[in-house]
A and B are shown apart, each in its own frame.
Chain A
Amino acid sequence: MADVLLEMQGVDLGYGAEPVVRGVDLRVRRGELVVICGTSGCGKSTLMKGAIGLLPPLAGRIHLLGEEIARLDEDRLNRVRARVGLLFQGGALLNSLTVAENVALPLDQHARLSPEVSRMLVRMKLAQVGLEGAWHKLPAELSGGMKKRVALARAMVLDPELLLCDEPSAGLDPVTAAGLDRLLLDLRDAMQITLVVVTHELESIQTIADRVFMVADGRVAFDGSLQEARRCTLPVVRDFFERRAPRPEAAGRSLLERLSAAEVEPR
């Protein structure tokens, strides 16, 4: 169990009574870089929120770092969360705080370091994402890519065992996105951080993924290595990796057909 950092068993997750994702089984082992992929709106971010206990499961069990999160009280859940970093899709930086204060937030909550050491640690983390100069800036003064890098610095400041990243490179230019991918790989290799990355960026997936976990129509469509995903013959997986639009029959009948053959006289 100690080697499995995140495990979902038959999990349904959703925002009301109606699940967005159903029957998810997922195991993330220590040292892996798992990519959760799928088309927009398929429930990838919902899975991420469920993984860290922001969204209680409608069915099934979620174990995070060996603890079943539904059974944890707030204090114990927070202690588990201190060992996990989460990078939100939009960064989710606190707009009233400076960049440095944002990055230092988890330290204030979970570490008892002297202010000097905290400051140095924040500087190091900001330097790691190439933003040491943004120390005094407010989030409103940063570009989208800079916000994400600050959010990554904040997610990494406690050296988490597991780092969950929701669409880290979405909306970024190709150079910045490639830099972020490189950084994630470095984190895994140099600091042995286990990563779960939600993305639909094909280039990112092919650069970073050890394992691919694909969600389609609210269900798990594929779980395997990147090589297996490339060879997979399932239409939904093949379409995704070959950048193919959904087949016409999946999108409904053409209006000509819909008006029915009997109703349309051939020319």
Chain B
Amino acid sequence: MPTGREASVERVVEGGEVRLVIRGRLDRQSAPAVRDWILAWMPQGGPAAGLDLGEVEHLDSAGVALLAESMELARARDCPLRLLRVSDAARQTLSLFRLQAAPPGSPRVRPGLLLGLGDWLVAWLAGLRKITLLMADLFFWAVAGPFLAGRGAPAGELSRQAVLLGANAFGIVALLATLIGLTMALLSAHQLEQFGANIYVANLVAIAMAREMGPLMTAIIVAGRSGSAIAAEIATMEVTEEVDALQAMGFSPVRFLVVPKLYAVTFTQPLLTAISVAFGILGGLLVAAVGLGVPPQAYLIQASDALKLSDITTGLFKSLVFGWIILIVAAHAGLGARGGANEVGVRTTRSVVLAIFTVIIADCIFSLVFYL
């Protein structure tokens, strides 16, 4: 029976003994077909049989693996199998491979539902403990450290981080805020027009941007843009032992790596949010002026009348908290990285997802506290 490229298998019965004669090249090309044939032939608890390798001209690693697996399977099926007339070529290859008596390590057992839940809870509590310690460390080095330990953030880092986290995000935040303001105005314009209340587009856009959309959208952009960069930077430093090196030199990694970012985000997040609100209102102005015929001056006066100081301060306060959340989540994800480069990607993704999730939860809590 031909079984693939340059290999054949024949079943021979001699004196009551069954022999499977394999001929030609037993390699990775022919191995799948040979295996199918051996499996088809091998019954449960069958008589003793032989695998005749006397006419095997070439045996490669895949062929050896096939033989070893067939022998194990035969033992499992209680169908004794012997290697017969092993050719020199086959013997040479077989002698190269060694196996421990038992397979290395036991296969990972999937935990049951309860055990899995327990593992998840333990891991979650451990993560909570770590993030709490990180926040305490961060608070110490950011607030008390400069006075008590005489050491603050490394010189020059604050301005560098402010540029990275704030100034460089200006363009994307301004563009997206304009588009959001524009979209909100377009959506509301049609409804308001029916009541002759076009001018109230300004109220809607201004209040929504200042209280909700400005802080939230800025936080989401910052989480995706800067949070991911922070997590990836710190995770890379972890896996390349740079964080270990800092510790070995007596630096607190939190003071060296996270505190400058905390200072920067404390300044830049409210600023970016203010910019976002301004550009959102500008987007609404475009729709009001071009689509609804509202004079720009009237739109701006209406918007400023609609906005109360509390709307602005609430939005800026929320943005500050969102910025801290993004930073702490990103730092926690980065500092927990272990292993190789794939961990950097995993940690970065986790940081972005968790930061956006936490920001939205926090926003819900703020809404309940401030508006109920």
Distance between A263 CB and nearest chain B CB, rounded to angstroms: 5
Q: Which residues of chain B from 234 to 273 have any CB-CB distance to chain A below 8 Å in the complex?
A: 237, 240-242, 244-252
Q: Which residues of chain B from 73 to 99 have any CB-CB distance to chain A below 8 Å in the complex?
A: 80-86, 91, 94-95, 97-99
In the complex, the answer to whether B247 meets A259 with C-beta atoms within 8 Å is: no
Tell me the complex Cα distance, A263–B79, Å: 12
In the complex, the answer to whether B82 meets A92 with C-beta atoms within 8 Å is: no
B68 at the interface (CB under 8 A from A): yes
Stretch at the interface among A6-14, A30-38, A81-89, A173-181: A81-89
In the complex, the answer to whether B99 meets A255 with C-beta atoms within 8 Å is: yes
A251 at the interface (CB under 8 A from B): yes
With a CB–CB cut-off of 8 A, which chain A residues contact B244?
Answer: 49, 54, 88, 92
In the complex, the answer to whether B250 meets A253 with C-beta atoms within 8 Å is: no
With a CB–CB cut-off of 8 A, which chain A residues contact B99?
Answer: 252-253, 255, 258
In the complex, the answer to whether B64 meets A252 with C-beta atoms within 8 Å is: no
Partner among B71, B101, B154, B242 whose Cβ is within 8 Å of the Cβ of A95: B242
B50 at the interface (CB under 8 A from A): yes
A52 at the interface (CB under 8 A from B): yes
In the complex, the answer to whether B245 meets A263 with C-beta atoms within 8 Å is: no
With a CB–CB cut-off of 8 A, which chain A residues contact B101?
Answer: 252-253, 258
B297 at the interface (CB under 8 A from A): no
A92-B241, A95-B242, A264-B86 given; A255·B68 CB < 8 A: yes
Max chain A CB contacts within 10 Å: which of B237, B244, B252?
B244
A78 at the interface (CB under 8 A from B): yes
Partner among B94, B250, B252 whose Cβ is within 8 Å of the Cβ of A255: B94
User: Taking chain B's interface residues, is the majority helix, strand, or loop, or is none over half, making it mixed?
Assistant: mixed
Tell me the complex Cα distance, A79–B248, Å: 11
Distance between B238 CB and nearest chain A CB, rounded to angstroms: 11
In the complex, the answer to whether A90 meets B241 with C-beta atoms within 8 Å is: yes
B100 at the interface (CB under 8 A from A): yes
Q: Which residue of B lies closest to A86 (CB)?
A: B248
Tell me the complex Cα distance, A126–B114, Å: 58
A108 at the interface (CB under 8 A from B): yes
With a CB–CB cut-off of 8 A, which chain A residues contact B241?
Answer: 88-90, 92
With a CB–CB cut-off of 8 A, which chain A residues contact B94?
Answer: 254-256
Distance between B67 CB and nearest chain A CB, rounded to angstroms: 8
In the complex, the answer to whether B250 meets A110 with C-beta atoms within 8 Å is: yes
Interface residues of A, Cβ cutoff 8 Å to B: 15, 49, 52, 54, 74-75, 77-79, 81-82, 84, 86, 88-90, 92-95, 105-106, 108-110, 154, 248, 251-256, 258-259, 262-265, 267
17 contacts between A and B (CB under 8 A): A15-B338, A75-B149, A78-B250, A81-B249, A90-B240, A109-B251, A251-B98, A252-B99, A252-B101, A255-B94, A255-B97, A255-B98, A256-B94, A259-B83, A263-B80, A265-B83, A267-B85
Interface residues of B, Cβ cutoff 8 Å to A: 50, 54, 64, 67-68, 71, 80-86, 91, 94-95, 97-101, 149, 154, 237, 240-242, 244-252, 338
The list of the 10 closest CB pairs from A to B, nearest first, reads A78-B250, A92-B245, A252-B98, A92-B241, A255-B97, A252-B100, A86-B248, A264-B83, A265-B84, A81-B250
